[in-house]
Chain A
């Protein structure tokens, strides 16, 4: 199977993730969509790594996973504290940062 198919899959996953970020209101879902996009990127990196025959892309994918894990910790904490104070997990409710 040609590795290019993995790139198509990655593009599809990224598009789904981006659409989710843009249209969903629930913070948890938005968050998961972001993770989806990150993983789509990881898949691309790994595919290119395979196609070009070196390991750089795979190593970067590991870094991405570590950063994503750290981001999940912080992001979930923010969502939890936001839910506690506003009793809602909707990103549109948290729109205080405007003039």
Chain B
């Protein structure tokens, strides 16, 4: 069984190689190859999962050593895989949602002449993401980490003829690079501290390491997670990443890749458990981002950007939970999985709406679409109910647990602060998602013919698109309940992530009740603002906060002023130093030697007799020296 693990990565990797190197003759059937190989990977995952279920919970982890990558004395890097319960959860999520999105893309990308390439990139992404989650050491994880970054870059910029898409891809790549620096520094620190990269030895020997070192490694890992998972302060790329095709947004920028940061923190749990300061930083980042994303999501009129804000916010919840330690890891991963279902479903729904509306993304130009796209409406609606945490649906089970765990953080003032933030976030989530729902599917139709007189004719999408949406809607509805039955999900993960029952500062039923009240309040507010009144087609000026939120709470302006301008000043002063001091030293030396040699040149005057004098003098000195040495 263990030997099958490599096949998880190999299948999509083969697909990527065939599709990207195969050339035009694969144009007609390439998407089937890509989809088939994604499904193969999923089938292998299911096979391994059933095998794992049959084993004793403590001995479920499987290993496969493939080959030694860098065999050097004192530096051992192996290509080896480790499939434990945590990795297995990710494998099923990635291959499952990945396969569905491959199917969806067959319909969505039907008219794109570069469809083969698109599927090649998608397969490349799957391979890299799977490598990331089944690697058994940090160095191999880093390979996958960079691989998903590459795939993300290629797919965001897939429509590279649009300058906005090309810029967005570059932006995502650059911002991610900052985070990747954090990961590489963390790995270097690990190597100097533990002498190895492998998860086992590193995570087992954390108790013998100083807290300062663990905090440093933890903070660097947090930086890495911030980059990949679009957390404050490296969040600015995610909104622009929506320039990519919608299936990409669903798979990479909602369900899987952006959750890699949560995986990294959960996987490195032993390090964070030994570094409470780093954990506090993680919790703060999560709490700030969950509010940040939610506020941005409230103001966006672009349906995909509103959902991107929501993704940021939901990942903020996961990071928050992962920072809480053993009381939160399992819930972070559980929310990650349920979020994978409903957010992918929401994005696919948004893609379906765009597909029927001539790629219009402005929600102010939708309205009343429920009559035209019933399947999209129902699946999107179920995803909506799941994400706001409507009782009984997936999001309720997972998000409520995170709020409970947040209230249990440190049983003092911190519990109140972070619990309160998580609760507030739930209310804002309900507000902005209700807003999206109402503006898209309810009210009167607001679309108009465009400049060439083409009026959109909204219609239901083809079956290849609706079936994945239906499957994901099932997941959105039932996954959370299923996971919470007998705490089965927590028990499943417990051998890897440990688990402690949270003890919140207020009672659990009170938290659940207040969560429901808050979400109803948020939804009601959105209904009053957008459902009762006509939605204007052009956005009103709005309050100061709204305007700031439309500009992503000025994150780009901040980056521009602080980083770009600052960087410009820095480079300018460096150039000045370079010109005056470095070049000055070099040129000065050169000029000095030039002057000296100009003077020395005069010694060579062409007069044979003056040469004879120097020879004579030299010889005399030599003889004198010899005699002197002899005398001494």
Contacts and interface: CB of A to CB of B under 8 A. Distances in A.
A99 B606 CA distance: 8
A23 B613 CA distance: 10
A22 B610 CA distance: 8
A23 B609 CA distance: 8
A99 B609 contact: no
Interface stretch (A2-10, A54-62, A66-74, A87-95): A87-95
Contact of B607 (A18, A95, A99): A95
B616 A18 contact: yes
B605 A98 contact: yes
A79 B605 CA distance: 20
B538 interface: no
A96 B605 CA distance: 9
A22 B609 contact: yes
B616 A92 contact: no
A29 B612 CA distance: 15
**Best-buried of B601, B604, B609 by chain A (most CB within 10 Å):** B609
B618 to A, nearest CB: 13
The prevalent SS among residues of B at the interface is helix
A98 B616 contact: no
A21 interface: yes
A97 interface: yes
Contacts of B613: 22
B539 interface: no
**Best-buried of B601, B608, B616 by chain A (most CB within 10 Å):** B608
A37 to B, nearest CB: 10
Contacts of B607: 91-92, 95
Interface residues of B, number: 10
**Best-buried of B601, B607, B613 by chain A (most CB within 10 Å):** B607
A99 B609 CA distance: 17
A64 B616 CA distance: 20
A72 to B, nearest CB: 17
Interface in B489-520: none
Contacts of B605: 95, 98
A95 B607 CA distance: 5
Interface string B74-110: 0000000000000000000000000000000000000
Contacts, number: 32
Contacts of A98: 604-606
Interface string B594-617: 000000010011111100110010
Given A22-B609, A92-B607, A99 B616 contact: no
A99 B604 contact: yes
B616 to A, nearest CB: 6
Contacts of A23: 609
A75 B118 CA distance: 87
A30 B604 CA distance: 20
B616 A91 contact: no
A22 B616 contact: yes
B596 to A, nearest CB: 15
Given A18-B616, A22-B616, A91 B601 contact: no
A32 to B, nearest CB: 15
A65 B606 CA distance: 29
Nearest to B598: A99
Interface in A19-61: 21-23, 25, 30
A99 B612 contact: no
Contacts of A25: 609
Given A18-B616, A22-B616, A91 B609 contact: yes
A50 to B, nearest CB: 23
B605 to A, nearest CB: 5
B612 A96 contact: no
Nearest to A24: B609
B245 to A, nearest CB: 72
Nearest to A96: B606
Interface in B579-632: 601, 604-609, 612-613, 616
Contact of A97 (B601, B606, B609, B612): B606
B601 A99 contact: yes
A11 to B, nearest CB: 12
Nearest to B608: A91
Contacts of B606: 94-98
15 contacts: A18-B616, A21-B609, A21-B612, A22-B609, A22-B613, A25-B609, A91-B608, A91-B609, A92-B608, A94-B608, A95-B605, A95-B606, A95-B608, A96-B606, A99-B601
Interface of A: 18, 21-23, 25, 30, 91-92, 94-99
Given A18-B616, A22-B609, A95-B605, 14 more contacts: A21-B612, A21-B616, A23-B609, A30-B608, A30-B609, A91-B607, A91-B608, A92-B609, A94-B606, A94-B608, A95-B607, A96-B606, A97-B606, A98-B605
